Chains A and B, each alone.
Chain A
């Protein structure tokens, strides 16, 4: 099962060039998905205080929420031969709470599926730097699982 989960994650990520572009990495720890966005100068959005761009934080949170949901929704197709058989959810809305400025250091994130029904799903995601608590940004998104 573990191998299939890893394979599924690899196949999902192969579909999303933007995640590679931002250099977001995913790890499976105890069957849970953790994400890392290593710091790079290009992620800066405020040169004066060396803070991460709001869009970089938002993109990170949104990517992590989508990957978590896609990963959970597609366990059954984990054995599929091509990544194109994987179904991606569609984002309905996404609300970002910028708790405090993102520092010029690595960021981590974990998503939680609040509910995944027949048509709709609700996903929360938290991002932190250093200690997990308190997070520096969090978001909640709703997704269309099947139309």
Chain B
């Protein structure tokens, strides 16, 4: 086990879970691998996008996917600097079910000294169809 990498990983998990906006939204980084990250957001009445359907706002799903993609980028090498989103596209495949936790899985599938390319999906249970999928480009942290 590479100690530098392990310490860096712990540092990154703490960094993401301490971010004010992630805390406020109830977003947490649950796991990180090499170029992989999983994040969750708990259902919360403050995050609702329409009181009629009680479905969570699209912006919450966007935030979760953006954060998960960012974490995947940070785990794709030994980062020297933070990363920033260049662009992100979200496809809303279906409505999230009310009261369910949403879990995003992101994968950084290509990283260079300048750019990191990422894709991600968000699920709200065992349904085969994800709630949303995303792809984006980030500034490289390596």
Interface residues of A (CB under 8 A from B): 14-18, 21-22, 41-49, 51, 53-56, 58-60, 62-63, 66, 83-84, 88, 90-98, 101
Contact = CB atoms under 8 A, between A and B. Distances in A.
B51 A16 contact: yes
Given A18-B57, A84-B52, A96-B88, A45 B46 contact: no
Interface stretch (B2-10, B89-97, B113-121): B89-97
A138 B84 CA distance: 15
Contacts of A62: 57-59, 62
B85 to A, nearest CB: 4
A15 B91 contact: no
B42 to A, nearest CB: 14
Nearest to B16: A45
Contacts of A56: 21, 63
B62 A55 contact: yes
B50 interface: yes
B62 A21 contact: no
